[in-house]
């Protein structure tokens, strides 16, 4: 069962997590189409999120870069929820985002209150850099490991784990209940097999 929800998250954390989850959830999830398959798709997503200036040129190479970055974030979030495939893919995903980070530089924007990292460039590069800025922001606030992918194999939606002890594995009570019922049926089946009389 999921733990009770932690205190309501602070607005900047929600903003960063919403951005990253919105990005990984552009994948084809149950019954939905992949939202990043063409330059037009990526352009529309950048417009919706306001990450790049309106009408910024987007190429096929940008789409490939977006999909690779999305795969890397997805695998890290799957590792956060303890999925075996995420843990296996974690070294490659980490290596990838570390290797490409210098394509998307960030600069500190200082004010009397503190600073935040913002993209050094505009356009598509700036849009991808904003995703890195959101990840760094979450990591600095202790929220990075709470970004997960639901362990329900028919769901796999990215979500922010609000449980007090960061033990959430499912995006919703519905997925948690469904998986508990599946585990129960599986246990009963195994018990039934063991109890079945030898022929």
Residue 157 CB, nearest approach to Zn ion (Å): 5
Q: Which is nearer to Zn ion, 17 or 152 (CB)?
A: 152
Q: Which is nearer to Zn ion, 128 or 156 (CB)?
A: 156
Packed helices 39-49 and 123-140: angle between N→C axes, nearest 10 degrees: 50
Determine the interface stretch with Zn ion among 34-42, 96-104, 110-118, 145-153 (rule: CB under 5 A).
Answer: 145-153
Residue 31 CB, nearest approach to Zn ion (Å): 13
Encoded tokens for 89: 């893919």
Q: How far apart are CA 167 and CA 125, in angstroms?
A: 34
Is 66 among the residues that bind Zn ion (CB under 5 A)?
Answer: no
Q: Which is nearer to Zn ion, 35 or 171 (CB)?
A: 171
Is 81 among the residues that bind Zn ion (CB under 5 A)?
Answer: no
Residues whose CB is less than 8 angstroms from the CB of residue 84 and which lie 6 or more positions away in sequence, other chains included:
none
Site for Zn ion in 153-172 (CB under 5 A): 155, 157, 171
Encoded tokens for 36: 């990043």
Q: Which is nearer to Zn ion, 43 or 157 (CB)?
A: 157
Is 152 among the residues that bind Zn ion (CB under 5 A)?
Answer: yes
Residue 29 CB, nearest approach to Zn ion (Å): 9
Residue 154 CB, nearest approach to Zn ion (Å): 8
Q: How far apart are CA 169 and CA 159, in angstroms?
A: 9
Packed helices 60-80 and 11-24: angle between N→C axes, nearest 10 degrees: 120
Is 179 among the residues that bind Zn ion (CB under 5 A)?
Answer: no
Is 176 among the residues that bind Zn ion (CB under 5 A)?
Answer: no
* Binding footprint of Zn ion on the chain (CB under 5 A): 150, 152, 155, 157, 171, 175
């Amino acid at each position: 069962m999921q733990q009770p929800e932690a205190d309501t998250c602070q607005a900047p954390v929600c903003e960063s997590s919403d951005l990253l989850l919105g990005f990984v959830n552009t994948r084809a999830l149950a019954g939905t189409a992949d939202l990043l398959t063409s330059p037009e798709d990526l352009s529309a997503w950048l417009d919706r999120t306001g990450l790049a200036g309106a009408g910024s040129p987007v190429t096929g190479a940008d789409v490939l870069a977006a999909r690779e970055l999305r795969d890397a974030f997805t695998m890290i979030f799957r590792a956060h929820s303890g999925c075996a495939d995420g843990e296996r893919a974690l070294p490659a995903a980490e290596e990838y985002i570390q290797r490409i980070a210098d394509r998307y530089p960030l600069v500190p924007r200082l004010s009397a209150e503190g600073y935040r990292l913002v993209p050094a460039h505009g356009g598509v590069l700036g849009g991808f850099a904003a995703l890195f800025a959101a990840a760094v922001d979450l990591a600095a606030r202790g929220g990075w490991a709470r970004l997960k992918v639901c362990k329900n194999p028919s769901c796999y939606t990215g979500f922010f784990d609000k449980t007090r002890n960061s033990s959430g594995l499912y995006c919703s009570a519905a997925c948690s209940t469904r998986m508990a019922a599946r585990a129960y049926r599986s246990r009963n089946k195994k018990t039934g097999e063991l109890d079945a009389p030898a022929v």
